[in-house]
Amino acid sequence: MITSIYLKNFKVFKEAELSPANLTLFTGLNGMGKTTFIQSLLLLRQSYEKKTLPDKGLFLNGDYIVIGEGKDAYCMYGEGDNICFELEWEDKFDVTFEFSYSPNSDLQPTKSFKKTDPFNPFDTALFNKNFQYLTAERLSPRILFPTSAYHVEELHSLGSKGDYTAHFIAVNQREPIPIKELQHKLTKGLSLLSQLDAWLGEVVPGVSLSTVVHRDMNAVKLSYKFETSDGYTEEFKPVNVGFGLTFVLPVVTAVLAAKPGDLVIIENPESHLHPAGQAVIGKMCALAAEKGVQIIIETHSDHILNSIRVAVKKKILSPQHAAIYFFERDINAKEHKVDIIQPFMDENGRLDKKPRGFFDEWGKQLDELIK
């Protein structure tokens, strides 16, 4: 599990460091650099997959993320001619990647690579098959979804846009979920499909999904039906059900399929979900994180935050296994500089500080109404 991320001369940060926990939330206004720490991890992984790490350099444009050229990655107010990432894992194992700044290239050459011996960072979840990343720009509802034996069967991946979620479900639907504590209270078995139906049923009541692989078309048909007093309805295509259900499907699948030691990174899991659905996602993440899955979430949802606070109060998640980081910028400062504030949570889910702009809009609007 990653316990420290240090950045130097990368994007908005001249220098910054934070300590992820089992479950980590990145929050703040738009354009504050919340995803920059996530991007540092994605760049390292995509560089390793492209075989440019550690020897050749940092590959800026790939399957996970597209940065541009070195001038797009280097901090506007940076000092020196390098970009540096340092990671630390539990047990005090660490690695330092230092890259020479090359402004007009999409490959930033390796300047130095240092690690704790005999530790091999490339055996960790960040670089191996125990990794899942879902971007905010996930695949929208459609009639057919793509297949990929490489992503699903070799990498155990849903694809960064959730592209291969339907294929993943088709292949693994009868497999038991790795974490028994994620078994929904309304189910008896642990199969992935039964758990998906149950947890999605808290987002859209009575939903049941099915998948059919059309190998001749390299496509998967995903469909939904809904429980009634007489049984179930006919099947509905995703395009006729609403955006939120298909958009959250990769998120729920990623959490249910995760096992202890995995690294799961999700951007905006709340997208297109009503408040109760967002709270369900927060609870699921808390359950998985307490059992050893490292989950990093970038979110604007107070419902996800509050569901995690409730999970702590109900002893579902230990407070030391949760970390919250709020990113803010002083527009009156001379430099385009972001500050990172960490509110700490006690055993009752209470926070020791709430910076201005930290999920306070509901209260502000309420104050306006009662004036």
User: At a CB cut-off of 8 Å and minimum separation 6, what does 7 contact?
Assistant: 13, 15, 16, 17, 36, 37, 40, 84, 85
Question: Cα–Cα distance between 52 and 49 in angstroms, integer?
Answer: 8
Angle subtended at Cα 62 by Cα 56 and Cα 63, rounded to the nearest 5 degrees: 135
Q: Is the pLDDT confidence value at 371 over 90? A: no
Q: What is the pLDDT of residue 358?
A: 79
At 330, the pLDDT band (50, 70, 90 cuts) reads confident
Q: What is the pLDDT of residue 74?
A: 97
CA distances from 339 to 14, 40, 77 (A): 11, 18, 15
Q: What is the pLDDT of residue 357?
A: 80
Q: Is the pLDDT confidence value at 276 over 80? A: yes
Identify the three-state secondary structure at position 54.
coil
Q: What is the pLDDT of residue 220?
A: 97
- Percentage of the chain beyond pLDDT 90 is 87
At 43, the pLDDT band (50, 70, 90 cuts) reads very high
The reported pTM is 0.95
In contact, 98 and 111? CB cutoff 8 Å: yes
In contact, 336 and 62? CB cutoff 8 Å: no
Q: Is the pLDDT confidence value at 81 over 90? A: yes
Q: Is the pLDDT confidence value at 145 over 90? A: yes
Q: What is the pLDDT of residue 98?
A: 98
Beta bridge partners of 267: 298
Q: Is the pLDDT confidence value at 159 over 90? A: yes
- Average predicted confidence (pLDDT) for the chain: 94
